[in-house]
Structure 1
C-alpha cells in the first residue's frame, strides 16, 4: 500500500484558509474518574485562533464509551472560560463527539479557489472547471464534526479498542490504533470515512496545538482511505480533514462541505 505524504510550508497556506479549521479542545486529555473536565470549541490557527461561540448550532454532543452513547448537551454553558464542563464516571477511553448544523458561506472566487486547492477538494475543483465557474464566488453550506479522545483513569488493554471505533459521523477520521498506546515507531495509521464508506484522496493534516501556525505534516488518503502519521511522545495534537461535493436543489448553494477533526494529547500537555 503506497501512501503519499506532503510537506507543507507556511507560505503555501493562506490565513483565510487556516481559519476554517475547527476542533474540540479539552483542558487536558487525561482525567481521573468523576473529575470535572472543561473544554472549548476552537477555530483557526496561530494568530487567527479563536473561540467558536456558536453553541446554539450544536445538534450533537455525546460521550461514546463501551457501546453506549450519553448525550452531553446539558453540559453546555454560555460565557465563561470554557464552553462546557463534563465528568466521566467510568474508567477507560472515552470519545467525545460533536456535530453542528449547517451554516452558509459565499467567498470571492480567488479566495474560494485557493481554499479548495489547499484543502484538496477535488470534486469542487472539477465541478467548477467543468461548469466554467472558477471566476465566480464559491457558495457552500457547511457543517462541522469533531472528536476528542479522553483517557479516564489508568490505561488498560481492555479498553484501548474504543479509540478505533467510528461513532457514525458523516465525515470521520478513525485511528486504527489507540494514539495513547503506540509502539516505538510512533506510527499512527488512520482512515477517513464519508457517509459510511472509506474516502480516497482526502487531505488529512496533523497539527501541533502548542505551535499551530501551520500543520507539521499532510497526507492524502490512498484508495483504501488510509493515511499514516508519526506522532511525537508528548504534546496535544489535531488531525483534521475537509470534504465537499456539489449539491443540487438548494437555493444559493453549490457545494455541501463537511469539516471533521480528531484531537488527543499526552500527560503533562496543557491546552493553550
Structure 2
C-alpha cells in the first residue's frame, strides 16, 4: 500500500467515526408551539462537545412527515432544506393537536474503521450480534465497515394541549420506520414508569440497547436499558426538560458485499414541562 493510500484510509476512518457512533435526531425549536406559530427544525448529530448540525444531503432524506392521532398525515419534505449554515433546516406550521414528526434517510452513507475502533463502537452501542458474527468469521482483528441509515421521530404539541389519551394513542402507533422506538405512554402524564418497544422491520427487537439522554446536558446518557424478548424496556419517567431516546441495530451483509454490515440508527425526541396539564 502506498503512502497516499495509507493517508487516504486514515482520513476516511477519522472522518467516519463520528457518523458511525453518534446519534441523529430531529430538534424542533419548540415542542409546544402556540396557536399557528411556525416551527423551525434542525437536524442534530452527536453529543456533548461533539454535538453539531447534521450535514446530510437532501437527496438522502426519503421522507419528512407529520402524523396525527386522528389519521391525518402531512408531507413536509418540500419544506426541508438541510444547511448547517442556515438558521433552520425546515420551517412549517402545524394545525392544533399532537403530532409525530418522522424522518427516514437512505442507507447511502458508509463508515470504515480500524478493527479496535470498530469493535469498541459495537461494544459501546450494544451490538452484540455483530461482535459475535465477527468472531465466528475470524474477523475480530479485521477492519470493519458498514452502510447506515437514520430514522427519527419527534413529538410536537401544537396549540392547545391534546387530550392525554390522544397523545398516548399517537405515540403507541408504529409509523413503519425500519428501526423504531414506540412509546406506550405519554411522558407528560407523569406515570412512574415510561414503557417502550423497539421494532426492527415491524417486529419486536430483543437485545437492543436503548439510551435516554437529557438534551440540555447531553455529554452522556442518563440511563440505558436493553429490550427483553418482546422488544420492551422501560425507564423511570424523567423530570422537566427535552429528552432523547435512541437505539442502533445492525445486520451482517452477504460475503462479497461492498461493506460488512447494514446499520440503522433510530431516535425519538420529546419534552416534559414542569407540571402535567390538568
TM-score, normalised via structure 2 length? 0.86
Please state if 1:159 is matched with 2:161: no
Instruction: Determine the structure 1 residue equivalent to 2:121.
Output: 115
Q: Which of 47, 67, 73 is the matching residue for 1:69? A: 73
Instruction: Determine the structure 2 residue equivalent to 1:21.
Output: 23
Please state if 1:130 is matched with 2:136: yes
Instruction: Determine the structure 1 residue equivalent to 2:97.
Output: 92
Partner Cα separation in structure 1 for residue 256 and residue 82 of structure 2? 32
Q: C-alpha displacement at 1:67, in angstroms? A: 1.7
Equivalent residues of 1:58, 1:99 under 8 A apart: yes
Q: C-alpha displacement at 1:117, in angstroms? A: 0.7
> What is the SS of the residue equivalent to 2:122?
helix
Q: 1:121 to 1:19 in 2, by over 3 A?
A: closer
Partner Cα separation in structure 2 for residue 233 and residue 18 of structure 1? 30
> What is the SS of the residue equivalent to 1:31?
coil
Q: 1:146 to 1:250 in 2, by over 3 A?
A: farther
Structure 1 stretches (4+) deviating beyond 3 angstroms?
Answer: 15-19
Instruction: Determine the structure 1 residue equivalent to 2:63.
Output: 60
Q: 1:72 to 1:16 in 2, by over 3 A?
A: closer
Instruction: Determine the structure 2 residue equivalent to 1:5.
Output: none
Partner Cα separation in structure 2 for residue 48 and residue 19 of structure 1? 11
Equivalent residues of 2:21, 2:121 under 8 A apart: no
Q: 1:78 to 1:252 in 2, by over 3 A?
A: closer
Q: Which of 186, 190, 215 is the matching residue for 1:182? A: 190
Q: Which of 169, 175, 178 is the matching residue for 1:170? A: 178
Name stretches of at least 5 consecutive residues in structure 1 with no aligned partner: 1-14
Aligned ranges 1:226-265 → 2 under 5 Å: 226-248=232-254, 251-265=257-271
Partner Cα separation in structure 2 for residue 188 and residue 158 of structure 1? 15
Higher relative contact order (Cα pairs below 8 Å, separated by 6+ residues): 1
Q: C-alpha displacement at 1:19, in angstroms? A: 4.7
> What is the SS of the residue equivalent to 2:217?
coil
Q: Deviations over 1:118-143 (max 9, x none)?
A: 11112211110000101111110100
TM-score, normalised via structure 1 length? 0.88
Q: 1:18 to 1:130 in 2, by over 3 A?
A: closer
Aligned length: 251
> What is the SS of the residue equivalent to 1:159?
helix
Q: Deviations over 1:135-162 (max 9, x none)?
A: 1111101000000000112231452211
Please state if 1:43 is matched with 2:45: yes
> What is the SS of the residue equivalent to 1:129?
helix
Equivalent residues of 1:28, 1:265 under 8 A apart: no
Partner Cα separation in structure 2 for residue 135 and residue 158 of structure 1? 51
RMSD between aligned residues: 1.7
